[in-house]
Amino acid sequence: MTRKMMAQALSDYFSKNGGSMDLVTYKSKGNDVPVKDYVLQKHFGKWTMVLAKVERIAPWTVEVVKPVKKAPAKKAPAKKKVEKKDVK
């Protein structure tokens, strides 16, 4: 696996999981991670360098979900007062 492939896999993983994480959190994921931490550190160096180089090679994006506003309730149209005319 090349550096670019590792960076892209890690970038996709961070995008899916809501952004970057520290080394302890990444290690705690176990076998659910795309590339093991020791392999990343072997190729890139310290964990901060891993994050910096991965962000430079393949930046990840996290989608921010905007809260949905409820549509205002429709009001019933005001009833018109109809005056009856006295016809004589």
| Residue pLDDT, tens place only, 30-59 | 889 999 999 999 998 999 999 898 888 888
Residue 62 lies in a domain: no
Q: Are 13 and 33 in contact (CB under 8 A)?
A: yes
Separation of alpha carbons 83 and 71, rounded Å: 35
Question: Model confidence at 62, in pLDDT bands (50, 70, 90)?
Answer: low
Residue 46 lies in a domain: yes
Distances (CA, A) of 87 to 77, 81, 84: 29, 18, 9
Residue 39 lies in a domain: yes
Q: Coil, helix or strand for 64?
A: coil
Mean pLDDT of the residues in the chain: 84
| Predicted model pTM | 0.65
Residue 71 lies in a domain: no
Residue 48 lies in a domain: yes
Range of 25's domain? 3-57
Residue 67 lies in a domain: no
Separation of alpha carbons 46 and 86, rounded Å: 94
Indicate the number of domains in the chain.
1
Residue 25 lies in a domain: yes
